[in-house]
Amino acid sequence: MDRNSFGRLCNLLKQPGSFKDGRYVIVEEQVAMFLSVLVHHKKNRVVRFDFWRSGQTISHYVHVVLKAILKLHVLLLVKPKPVTEDCSDSRWKWFKGCLGALDGTYINVLVPNIDKSRYRTRKGQISTNMLGVCDQNMKFVYALPGWEGSAADSRILRDALNRPHGLRVPRGNYYLVDSGYANSEGFLAPYRGVRYHLKEWGPTCSRPQNAEELFNLRHAKARNAIERAFGILKMRWGILRSTSYYPIEVQIRLMMACVLIENFIRTNMAVDPVEQQYDLLHQEIENTENEQEDFIDTIESSQAWIAERDALAHGMWQHYLRTIN
């Protein structure tokens, strides 16, 4: 982050009053130590030489800053706004009422040998499966790290919906999800057995041939927001790219801290060099086409929601035919 954002973060941490200068270490240095660990994944003995502090001091303030940042989750996690009728964004204007996108991502962790079988993914890595939910601007709405790598995405989502302070999806709104989730009320999935991923819609590929293909193309373009959010998150925070040596409970809190600070950076930095670098490495396909609320608490497939998807796809297809004729 730039200097202005760093200063704003320090001032934000000072506001509650519980986070203040230490006897010998001021707030700015405490935050700098913490960010150094997250961004570069430096060990305690490396950070102590960078800041000329004892290992005990480094360890103490890493946990102090971590606790202070987690207390700001109410401020840093955003509240999503549904897509409106007059939306001009070419990616999202087809999905009225959509709140954003969600998916899971694997993050390597260090766990005791007795727990490794539970955290082993289908690719053989020892990881945690973190659920992430973002809005149209790639700001995180909700994150749930800590589930074992062997856990299915749908199981984690079900747990997030049933937690007392978990994910809330008002009826009438929905999130875009991939085919690993059921096409159920509140979660709009693509058609299975139909080409979907953006790499399948390159310049040498044919244009959409029917309503299902057109729907999947536009669904993939919009849902790509969560893929980009995860990609930028891991590119910025080195501690998420390799196994951490902290206890698993601390590793989970550090993941959440990365998500919260990521939101802060996206809000306070107009130009993000990490995002620009990510876009250069992952070129996207942009022009393939010429008060009391009732919340959702299940993710079971339903015929009504399938009909809703069919109607939305048919409407897209009819509009598409009018534009090319």
User: Do residue 144 and residue 281 come from a single domain?
Assistant: yes
Point out the domain boundary residue: 71, 86, 113: 71
Nearest to 258 by CA among 270, 274, 271: 274
> Looking at the chain, which runs of residues are DSSP E strands?
98-108, 127-134, 140-148, 174-176, 187-188
Total-model pTM: 0.85
- Provide the pLDDT confidence category of residue 176 given band limits of 50, 70 and 90: very high
> What number is the average pLDDT over the span 80-107?
92
Tokens of 179: 């085919």
User: Do residue 103 and residue 64 come from a single domain?
Assistant: no
User: Do residue 239 and residue 167 come from a single domain?
Assistant: yes
User: Do residue 107 and residue 195 come from a single domain?
Assistant: yes
User: Do residue 55 and residue 127 come from a single domain?
Assistant: no
Point out the domain boundary residue: 71, 88, 113: 71
Structural domain contains residue 63 = yes
User: Do residue 106 and residue 50 come from a single domain?
Assistant: no
Q: With 90 as the cut, is the pLDDT of residue 20 above it?
A: no
What is the domain range of residue 51? 3-71
Structural domain contains residue 86 = no
User: Do residue 108 and residue 224 come from a single domain?
Assistant: yes
Left, alpha or beta for 254 (phi > 0: left; psi -120 to 50: alpha)?
alpha
Q: With 50 as the cut, is the pLDDT of residue 292 above it?
A: no
Tally of domains in the chain: 2
User: Do residue 59 and residue 7 come from a single domain?
Assistant: yes
Structural domain contains residue 251 = yes
Tokens of 237: 């925070």
Rounded to whole angstroms, the Cα distance separating 268 from 253 reads 23
Amino acid at 315: G
